């Protein structure tokens, strides 16, 4: 690949902001990425900071991953219990409760699968 600005030079990387090939003369090293020397440095810094913030959010979301399934399970149990107390035994409240319980189970297993695949990916890197 050739440098976008200097067609006679080989590119050493791709600009984080504009995705154009850049040579060593044009490149500004930002630590985790490269940017064009003049026009793209600020935008590349913004992209890097956005990625760092998303990693923080992802890490914190793992901590709270079981809150939604637990909430759905509690609500489902409450609706089923309330539905069983009424007449007929299988009424609308029971159906809502069963729906909540099914959703909680599916959500829990999806989050468990996501957590395990994320753990494998962390071990491979």
Verify that 55 and 71 share a domain, yes or no. Answer: no
pLDDT at 84: 87
Spell out the residues 6+ positions from residue 44 whose beta carbon is closer than 8 angstroms to its own: 15, 16, 17, 30, 33, 34, 35
Kindly indicate the confidence band of residue 100, based on its pLDDT and cuts at 50, 70 and 90.
Answer: very high
- The Cα-based distances of 80 to 2, 49, 88, 114 in angstroms read 66, 46, 12, 29
Q: Based on DSSP, count helices (H) and strands (E) in the chain, helices before strands.
A: 3, 4
Residue 73 predicted with pLDDT over 90: yes
Domain annotation covers residue 4: no
Q: Which helix (H) or strand (E) element contains residue 109?
A: helix 92-124
Q: How many domains does the chain have?
A: 2
Q: pTM for this structure? A: 0.50
Average pLDDT over residues 63-76: 87
What's the rounded Cα separation, in Å, for the pair 41 and 30?
A: 8
Q: Give the range of the structural domain holding residue 33, as residue numbers without chain letter.
A: 13-59
pLDDT at 90: 76
């Amino acid at each position: 690949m050739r440098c976008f600005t200097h067609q006679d030079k080989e590119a050493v990387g791709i600009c984080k902001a504009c995705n154009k090939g850049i040579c060593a003369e044009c490149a500004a090293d930002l630590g985790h990425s490269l940017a064009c020397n003049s026009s793209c440095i600020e935008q590349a810094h913004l992209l890097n900071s956005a990625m760092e913030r998303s990693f923080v959010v992802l890490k914190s979301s793992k901590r709270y991953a079981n809150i939604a399934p637990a909430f759905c399970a509690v609500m489902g149990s409450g609706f089923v219990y309330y539905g069983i107390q009424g007449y007929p035994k299988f009424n609308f409240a029971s159906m809502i409760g069963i729906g909540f319980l099914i959703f909680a189970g599916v959500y829990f297993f999806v989050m468990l699968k996501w957590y395990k695949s994320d753990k494998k990916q962390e071990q491979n890197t």
